Structure 1
Amino acid sequence: MPLSVTTIGFDADDTLWENEQFFRSSEKHFANLLAPYADIADLPQRLLEVEKRNLESYGFGIKGFTLSLVETAVEVTEGKVPATIIAEILDAGREMLRHPVQTLPHVAETLEQLTGRYKLVLVTKGDLFDQERKLAQSGLGDFFDAIEIVSNKDTGTYERVFSRHGNGAERGLMIGNSLKSDIVPAIEAGAWGIFVPHELTWVLEHVEAPIENPRFRQIEHLGQLTTLLEEIG
């Protein structure tokens, strides 16, 4: 019989609060800015290629995204993009960094129900300053026993997190909207992986769901988590 869960890891972006919608909005604004200067039919693909290329250098987050927008603008216009457009792209990036945090439904009440019953750990990747800003603005920080802001989420990440803040991965559970970052590597580490789909998830976070793994579950929203935990034990 599997050991009971003692530690729960929560993803942040698009699990606790909205995130991807602001990237999508900025991409639309970006396309409008470049329309007079370049053929934008394949702009989303060109931007994605630049983002993939830059992940190793810039990591995840708004700052890296903004630099990728600038680089894409230079590439698709063959270096002819006006400085005024570059300035507008940078302004859009700063606006994203200032945007108020919008928590998702059922988040606060679920965290309140779980506090004291489990050790709760926020496990998020991205820019340190931006993630700290969003956590502070969300008002959710006091629910968590530990905060882990990491550069990437892989099997080793979850092994370390659940060993550091719990009784090992076997008694850990990770919940999030990204199969690639939150679910698959957590399960590979030996933890439970609870998938909460979000209607907007970055294409680079898409992988096949491990539906045949006994430690994989999927719920519609965080409000269903407490009931699922009773079933898991």
Structure 2
Amino acid sequence: MLTTICFDADDTLWHNERFFRLTQEHFASLLRDHASSDHLAERLLEAEKRNIGHYGFGIKGFMLSMIETALEVTENRVPGSVIAEIIAAGQDMLGHPIELLPGVQETVTALAGEFTLLLVTKGDLLDQERKLAQSGLGELFDGVEIVSEKSPTVYRSIFSRHGTTPTQALMAGNSLKSDVNPVIEAGGWGVYVPHGLTWELEAAEPPEGHPRFRQIENLSELPELVREICHNI
């Protein structure tokens, strides 16, 4: 039987990617005299790929990648005022209020009484803690795991720490690469909840046909899906 339900945070419980997109549009406007928006987006994505190993996931790494990209496309001639604007944009992102996605509060509350609930998210520790505190969901979770990467090994370790096995655990999230495929590989259930806006570095192919893969349109469908899985196990 399922005993543990895990949730991703960003773009599964609350909006996140749209703030990155808005900031990237502002970034493109700041550097429109030096590069087209498409070219700038390509260079920024390349910088983010290079820098994940140094800065990890989250707003701070994104901000540093924007500064690096600005230096590259201007051949180190970017005005100090532009660097200041980039820093200010990152600080605005770090202070942005949390907005829950539809059905999240009801879904998490409904499952909290029956299952062990874990929040499993990547990103900056302080920022993720801030968002969870502002969300009002913190008391509903039995554990919070903020990790640098989501891999089968990481998931197995998380399940073990919380006294369960992969076969008794389900992970719901908007990223096939991080929330679904590695959990299934670890032996658990992966539930894909598409968001609509997905960071390019989180793109992956769905494990179509796998017996422990499910897809729902929004999180409010999860309690019924969990009941169905428990009934059929």
**Normalising TM by the smaller chain, what interval?**
over 0.9
Give the 5 Å matches for 1:1-233. 4-233=1-230
3-state secondary structure, aligned to 1:42? helix
Q: Residues 60 and 125 of structure 1 are in contact (CA less than 8 Å); yes or no, is this contact kept in structure 2?
A: yes
- CA distance in 2: counterparts of 1:182 and 1:39, whole angstroms: 33
For 1:119-144, what per-residue CA distance to the aligned partner results, in whole angstroms no more than 9, with x for missing partners?
Answer: 00000010000000000000000110
Across the aligned residues of Structure 1 and Structure 2, the Cα RMSD in angstroms comes to 0.8
Once the 2 structures are TM-superposed, how far is the Cα of residue 116 of structure 1 from its aligned partner? Answer: 1.9
Taking structure 1 as the reference length, the TM-score comes to 0.97
Task: Provide the aligned length of Structure 1 versus Structure 2.
Answer: 230
CA shift digits 1:152-195 (9 cap, x unpaired) = 10001110111111321110000000000000000000000000
Q: How far apart are the structure 2 equivalents of 1:126 and 1:163?
A: 22
Give SS of 2:139's match: helix
Structure 1 stretches of at least 4 aligned residues deviating more than 4 Å after TM superposition: none
CA drift of 1:39 comes to: 4.2
Say if 1:100 and 1:137, in contact at 8 Å, map to a contact too: yes
8 A contact 2:28–2:36 mirrored in 1 = no
| Structure 2 residue matching 1:124: 3-state secondary structure | strand
- Give unpaired runs (5+ residues) of structure 1: none
Q: Tell me the alpha carbon deviations over residues 66-114 of structure 1, each in whole angstroms, 9 at most, x when there is no partner.
A: 0000000000111111000000000000000000001000001111111
* Contact residue 7 and residue 166 of structure 1 kept, 8 A: no
2:126 alignment partner, SS class: helix
Distance, in Å, in 1 between the alignment partners of 2:226 and 2:130 is 30
Could you list the runs of 5+ residues in structure 2 that have no partner in the other structure? none
